[in-house]
Chain A
Amino acid sequence: MPDARCPEPDASGQNRGEDPLDDPAAPGPGQRGGEGSSEVPAETHDLEPLPELPGERRRVLALLAGGIGAVATGSLIVPWLRIFFDRAERMDSEVWAPVGGLEEFAIGKTTKVTYRDPTPLPWAGFVAHNAAWVRRDSDQEFSAFATYCTHVGCPIRWEESASLFLCPCHGGAFYADGTVAAGPPPRPLDRFPIRVRNGTVELRTVGVPDPDE
């Protein structure tokens, strides 16, 4: 085992000090068992023990190494966090999505409309599509409700003949105007801004609606 043989002691004392194999107090590698313990050159055992590096210097060196480690870790964690917290998709709050012509909505009726997120990532596919419940309150007045229950966000469905929104998760129910009719939901259905422009009904999509709006 040639690689286990102790190197020749160097002429410069410093170099020697950095090599733990020069420390005669430590057992040679061959003595830890295995083959070839007899191959350890006798001369390493004849050396006088070297003095330790000065304590001050060791402290500085430890600080240096630790500091490098900390900086290196930080310089990797920070970009990681930056990417993790990145909001890949932002809704442009000024964009109105057309959801149908005025004539498609009967007064007093609630209809499901679908729209495409205004600025989806190109590969978003079907998840860029979304739905909302739109109710025509009067000739020109509309309400638009999110399809997510305000309890914990299950999809709610409109039951036309019962005039109720029903939630399949914990039996939440909402009246036609979005107020809570029954069950655990804590607040009325979230609403989207909605308007009529040139005979087209338009919805402003705000992602998952902000409860405070």
Chain B
Amino acid sequence: MTRLRWIALAGERVARRVGRWVYDRAALAPIFDFLDKHKVPPELGRTRKGWFYVFGQALVFVFLAQIVTGSALAMKYIPSPDHAWHTLEFLNTEVVWGGFVRALHFFGASAMVLLVFVHMSRVVITGSYKYPREVNWITGVGLLVLVLAMAFTGQLLRWDQDGVSTVMVAATMLGRLPLVGERLMEIVLAGDTLGGATLSRFFALHVIVFPLLMIGLIGVHVYLVVRNGVSEPPRAGRPVDPGTYRMWYRRHTEAGNTRYWPDVAWREFVFVAVVYAVIFLLAVTWGPKGPGAVPDPTMVEVVPRPDWYFLWYYALIWYKPAALDMVVLVWFPLLVFPALVLLPIFFGRGERAPTRRPWALFAVAATILLWATLTVSAIQGDWIPDFDTEPVPEAVLEDAPLGVRDGAGLFYERGCQYCHMALERGGTYGPDLTRSAREMSRSDMAVRIVMGIGNMPAYQGILEPGELDAILDYIFWTLGPDVTPEGD
């Protein structure tokens, strides 16, 4: 007993000494001192508003998690166009926990994208980008770009059919830029075409260049948050005046006597725990994402699709009117980020309260709404031809006249059914023709088929003589025997 006690005491003494030594030689004093003394606006620690100020910390922690999972994956991944796909498959099937870590990395990436937008929305709504935090915001915009670049290159490193299509889509889009387009396309592909050098470059960017830039920018961002202080929750009628703000802020936090650690930090860490838990849960239940089909540039029967974070853009480039082609593809991405950078320069003072800045609320709400609408419509993909549609079963056509039977066959064969429904069967790109037949005369429809209209190709040179009639017979037969089409 005394012997044990003696060992315990000696151990404690050694531990203390080691601790003191590290504390002194690693110069931890200023850090502990800082954590001990750093004051933040009292609202964050003493009211529930603190919950709106946890997203930045969560981003830092998810980023750290991405480094951990990503570096583990890099130990198995081979960035060779011939091997990349197979190494991912190997991770999924052979490596213990390989698929799980891939899943963690994917859902971590999703969390990053999501949290970046949540964090940014909070900053916009509370006007936190205003004086003196302009550079916080600008580094934040840089980080937004980098997070999106990481998401993009990450999806590409999956190197399945979608990943390879993504490279081609990116290259083609850049290729459409005026003047520099062609050169940019070559840079993306590292040559004239998709080739042996393309993947390595994206690997280097995703694994080394972008993460290093992110670490640098996160450093500056966090440093500035510390130096400028967390922005206090705004109150209507308390505008930011650059002449007095810093002084006012110091007094506000001094008097508030609320310290970062742990008065406020606990909320951040609870939130981080929730985020981690969600990522783990999703990873366990959904497993790794892909890789999809083995990539093969000679395979054309594929429907490429970006990951969820870029679906909105995929839909946007469909929705835009043709005249806005260049605007959406070129000027929109080119101008959005400079505009964001300039936001605090032009709107850097005055009211911060959302009630006094309804446009900020509106901008955030509109962005979310637009994003959701575009994403949903991209998931539905109404404009995508239904390549898997099946011909009408014989049974349905049992007592139809011969011409109608021919028409039904042609309706499928000639591709009408890829885009049009009849009898509730077919694609959704064009109108449902059973419905159209109710409102349109046979001759009107004939003209549309032959001449084309809008997104309807002209079938003039495609249909053989007599086929038009058969197809029309079928379409109008689908109305049912009792319905007499209007205007006929």
Contacts and interface: CB of A to CB of B under 8 A. Distances in A.
- What range describes how many residues of B lie at the interface? 35 or more
A166 B385 contact: yes
B197 interface: yes
A70 interface: no
Interface centre among B20, B182, B197, B329 (most CB of A within 10 A): B197
A207 B457 contact: no
B424 interface: no
Given A159-B415, A161-B413, A128 B455 contact: no
Which secondary structure dominates where chain A touches chain B? Answer: loop
A148 B452 contact: no
Interface string B149-189: 00000000000000011001101110110000010011101
Nearest to A163: B462
Contacts of B445: none
B314 interface: yes
B196 A127 contact: yes
Contacts of A168: 302-304, 384-385, 387
Interface stretch (A11-19, A45-53, A179-187): A179-187
B461 interface: yes
B165 A154 contact: yes
A125 B295 CA distance: 11
Interface string A72-94: 00000000000011111111000
Contacts of A5: none
Nearest to A154: B304
A121 B201 CA distance: 14
B301 interface: yes
A157 B415 contact: no
Most B-side CB within 10 Å, residue of A129, A169, A181: A169
B193 A91 contact: yes
B331 to A, nearest CB: 15
Interface in B260-304: 295-304
Contact of A112 (B300, B302, B458): B300
Interface of B: 20, 23-24, 29, 80-83, 164-165, 168-169, 171-173, 175-176, 182, 185-187, 189-198, 201, 295-304, 314, 317-318, 320, 322, 325, 329, 383-385, 387, 413-415, 418-419, 429, 452, 454-458, 461-462
